[in-house]
Amino acid sequence: MRFTTRPAPSLDNLAELRAEIDRIDAEMHALLIQRGAIIDRLIAVKRTQGSGSAFRPGREASMMRRIAERHRGLLPLDTVEGIWRVIIATFTWVQAPFSVHADISAGDAGMRDSARFHFGFTVPYRPHPNCAAVIEAVAGSRGDLGIFRLGKDGAGAPRPWWESLVGEGRPKVIARLPFIERPAHPAGTPVFVVANPLDDPAAAQRDWVLYAVRAPGFAPESERALHDLYGEVVARSEAAEGVSLLLAVPGGVGPRQLGEALARVEAGATILDEVGSHAARFRV
Q: What is the CATH number of domain 208-278?
A: 3.30.70
Does residue 13 sit in helix, strand or coil? coil
Residue 223 is predicted with a pLDDT of: 87
Return the beta strands (E) in 107-183 as ranges: 125-128, 145-149, 172-177, 180-181
Residue 248: C-alpha distances to residues 131, 209, 245, 252 (Å): 19, 6, 10, 12
Residue whose C-alpha is closest to residue 56's, from 100, 92, 86? 92
Residue 279 is predicted with a pLDDT of: 94
Residue 8 is predicted with a pLDDT of: 63
Residue 16 is predicted with a pLDDT of: 87
Residue 265 is predicted with a pLDDT of: 81
Residue 60: C-alpha distances to residues 7, 16, 142, 151 (Å): 36, 37, 20, 24
Axis crossing angle, helix 14-46 with helix 77-95, rounded to the nearest 10 = 30
Q: Is the dihedral of CA 185, 190, 191, 192 positive or negative?
A: positive
Residue 220 is predicted with a pLDDT of: 84
Cβ burial of 181 (10 Å; 0-12, 13-18, 19+) is middle
Question: Parallel, antiparallel, or unpaired: how do β-strands 100-103 and 125-128 relate?
Answer: parallel
Q: What is the pTM of this model?
A: 0.87
Residue 6 is predicted with a pLDDT of: 65
Residue whose C-alpha is closest to residue 85's, from 72, 110, 68, 69? 68
Residue 55 is predicted with a pLDDT of: 79
Q: Digits of tens for pLDDT over the chain (284 positions)?
A: 566 666 665 656 888 888 999 999 999 999 999 999 998 888 777 765 554 567 788 888 999 999 999 999 999 999 999 999 999 999 999 888 999 999 999 999 999 999 999 999 999 999 999 999 999 999 999 899 999 998 766 555 668 999 999 999 999 999 999 999 888 899 999 999 999 988 777 788 999 999 999 988 888 888 899 999 999 999 988 877 789 999 999 999 999 999 999 888 887 889 989 999 999 988 87
Residue 184 is predicted with a pLDDT of: 87
CB 144 within 8 A of CB 195: yes
The ranges of the chain annotated as CATH 3.30.70 are 208-278
CA distance 92 to 82: 15
Residue whose C-alpha is closest to residue 104's, from 79, 84, 140, 128? 128
